[in-house]
Amino acid sequence: MNASLIIGAGPAGLTTAYELSKLGKSSVILEADNQVGGISRTVNYQGYRFDIGGHRFFSKVPYINQLWHEILGEDFLVRPRLSRIHYRGYFYDYPLKALNALAGLGPIEAFLVCLSYSKSKLFPHREENNFEQWVTNRFGHRLYNIFFKNYTEKVWGIPCNEISADWAAQRIKNLSLSTAVKNALFGEGKSNGNLITTLIDEFFYPRLGPGMMWEHCENSLMENGNPTIRHTRVEQVCHKNGRVEYVVARNGSTEMTEYRSDHFVSTMPLRELIHSLSPAPPDEVLAAANKLRYRDYLTVVLIVNREKVFPDNWIYIHTPEVKMGRIQNYKNWSPEMVPDSSTSSLGLEYFLWDTDEEWTWSDERLIEFGVRECVQLGLIEASEVLDGTVVRMKKAYPIYDRDYRETLSTIRQYIETFSNLQTIGRNGLHRYNNQDHSMLTGVYAARNITGETNDVWSVNTEMEYHEEAHTNGHQTGDRLIPTRVKPETEPKSSMDDIMEKVFARLDPLALGISVGSVFGIFIFLATSILLLKGGEVVGPRLLLLAQYFYGFEVSWTGALIGLLDAGFLGFLLGSSFAFLRNWGLSAYALIVHRRAQTERRRHLLDKI
């Protein structure tokens, strides 16, 4: 059989088939569900359309952007992004806006946040093995507790110190408090010239939701003789002598069918794939597969009799008093997601284990629970809810626990013994990819079938991607695909690595903002306390600051002037200290480095 066999009709599987079709190759896709798109599908309930989570279409990979426009054409809309954090009754802009965050936290908490941030920059965790250490080093422990800990543990269901730092590095790479402040001040979502996807303020989105993209893709493939067979679950993957020969799939409820091919591409969850192999893999591979964990997910959709509920595309719910993790406003993703413009549809997202009590609740009970939490958050009134439905999605998120690297390595080594089997996509690689990265693994897999050699496991593992294509040492024309950034110099020696760690640079902007915030808030609080205390002469000693701070006086206006003056002075002191320290240590490091080189040369002469 010449047609390649693809398991799963999500973004990765469909992209594989689409790329194969462009390369003149045929394929057959087997999909267990009754709908394509995987977690990127769009569900239609009474004319109201909604995602399984929100799916922004944004990529730094030009070829993926090209594919999206190629598949969907004029139905691809540019949409503004607005998202906020709800925490204990207050909405915080996300990405961070300094004045909004300070107003929400209050002066005392803001002061403590700045102190905590300063401490994290001066005394960071030496190791970043888990999510807590990674985030604390970039935001400070106090901000981590407020904005990261509770929400992250809602999503993953395990403590943050048990989540691998790899997840943070992959999902929020390059973002830090100083970067967020730079974006708030200068409107730039960039770090060292590289766009930070967490900070983008607009994105593409299909007119009728992400499922529209994948339904169009399925239809295009079908027209070119590449069918997607739905309701077909692969139950056995039969192999011999290092090659997969055929798969056995259940069509509907009872009928079993064999599908043979020369090439197989799987997007099945790795745990399921390993257990479907016949003959069974070695015991250590089975044991590794059993260690892989997945977080399950359900959406409670509410139809609300209100034209405008809130302006956001979505809101992160960090408030610990409710179980909801995030809420989507589908109408703000695309106006055509609702059939009646006088109403709105909201998606209340809950992250669960399929063994949790809530997973087995009836739809009616879940809807009632969701309404109650929305009312508790002050978003809607219970009487406004016209209707609702529930959608459950198992194995939505592969979990990055502390053991996942070792576990995944064992499985990968075994999978790579098969010469004609590739695993791709979020579940096929057990990696929390965005759909553009999942699509890229599909592109790689398709081109591998035609004779190229691309590493699908390398996608979304590097801290940065270089938008220049290299395949087998040759460029692929306008098909730009990110590859690992190649160093401009030779690999550094161990001495160079040690020097970088010992003489690590301070960020002048970050330290300046931190020290300035501490100074400014301290003067503001000191003045405020004296004003509240009162007396015949208020703060005579503090008034001496007027000699240094232009316009300062012990009054409420003076308190604001002192906040600005002291903040500016603190910024100068902090940034100057960082600059001078960096300069001094660089000079000292250069001296140490030259001494070490001289010492090495002297010992080299001894050996001649």
- 125-142 per-position pLDDT tens digit: 888 888 899 888 888 888
pLDDT over threshold 90, residue 225: yes
Give the span between the Cα atoms of 33 and 233, in whole angstroms.
Answer: 8
pLDDT band at 461 (very low <50, low <70, confident <90, very high): low
**H-only helix segments in 491-555:** 494-502, 508-533
What is the predicted pLDDT for the residue at 145? 87
Q: What is the mean pLDDT of residues 85-106?
A: 76
Whether residue 53 contacts residue 432, with contact meaning beta carbons closer than 8 Å, is answered with no
What is the predicted pLDDT for the residue at 538? 66
Q: What is the mean pLDDT of residues 371-378?
A: 96
What is the predicted pLDDT for the residue at 267? 97
What is the predicted pLDDT for the residue at 508? 78
pLDDT tens for 526-558 read 777 777 777 666 667 666 777 667 777 778 787
More confident residue, 131 or 300: 300
Write the burial class of residue 123 (CB in 10 Å: 0-12 exposed, 13-18 middle, 19+ buried).
exposed
Whether residue 519 contacts residue 563, with contact meaning beta carbons closer than 8 Å, is answered with no
pLDDT over threshold 80, residue 9: yes
Q: pTM for the complete prediction?
A: 0.74
pLDDT over threshold 60, residue 229: yes
Q: What is the mean pLDDT of residues 231-236?
A: 96
Of all residues in the chain, the percent with pLDDT exceeding 70 is: 81
Read off the tokens for 167: 């997840």
Give the span between the Cα atoms of 56 and 65, in whole angstroms.
Answer: 12
What is the predicted pLDDT for the residue at 468? 33
Compute CA distances 579 → 114, 190, 499, 574, whole Å. 20, 22, 18, 9
* Type and span of the H or E element at 391: strand 385-398
Whether residue 19 contacts residue 443, with contact meaning beta carbons closer than 8 Å, is answered with yes
Mean pLDDT is lowest, of 101-115, 127-141, 390-404, 416-430, for 101-115
What is the predicted pLDDT for the residue at 584? 78
What is the predicted pLDDT for the residue at 520? 79
The architecture of the domain spanning 294-398 is Alpha-Beta Complex (3.90)
One-letter amino acid of 573? L
Average pLDDT value for the chain: 83
CATH 3.50.50.60 in the chain: give the residue spans: 4-80+204-291+402-458
More confident residue, 154 or 574: 154
Give the span between the Cα atoms of 361 and 306, in whole angstroms.
Answer: 27
Whether residue 402 contacts residue 162, with contact meaning beta carbons closer than 8 Å, is answered with yes
Count of residues in the chain:
608
pLDDT band at 37 (very low <50, low <70, confident <90, very high): very high
Q: Which segment, 173-187, 243-257, 553-567, is predicted with the most confidence on average? A: 243-257
- Domain spanning 4-80+204-291+402-458 has what CATH number? 3.50.50.60
- Residue 566's contacts (CB-CB under 8 Å, 6 or more residues apart) are 516, 519, 520, 522, 523, 524, 549
Give the span between the Cα atoms of 55 and 211, in whole angstroms.
Answer: 10
pLDDT tens for 144-174 read 888 888 888 998 999 998 888 777 665 554 4
CATH 3.90.660.20 in the chain: give the residue spans: 294-398
Give the span between the Cα atoms of 57 and 219, in whole angstroms.
Answer: 20
More confident residue, 516 or 251: 251
pLDDT over threshold 80, residue 266: yes
pLDDT tens for 586-604 read 777 777 666 665 554 444 3
Give the span between the Cα atoms of 333 and 434, in whole angstroms.
Answer: 17
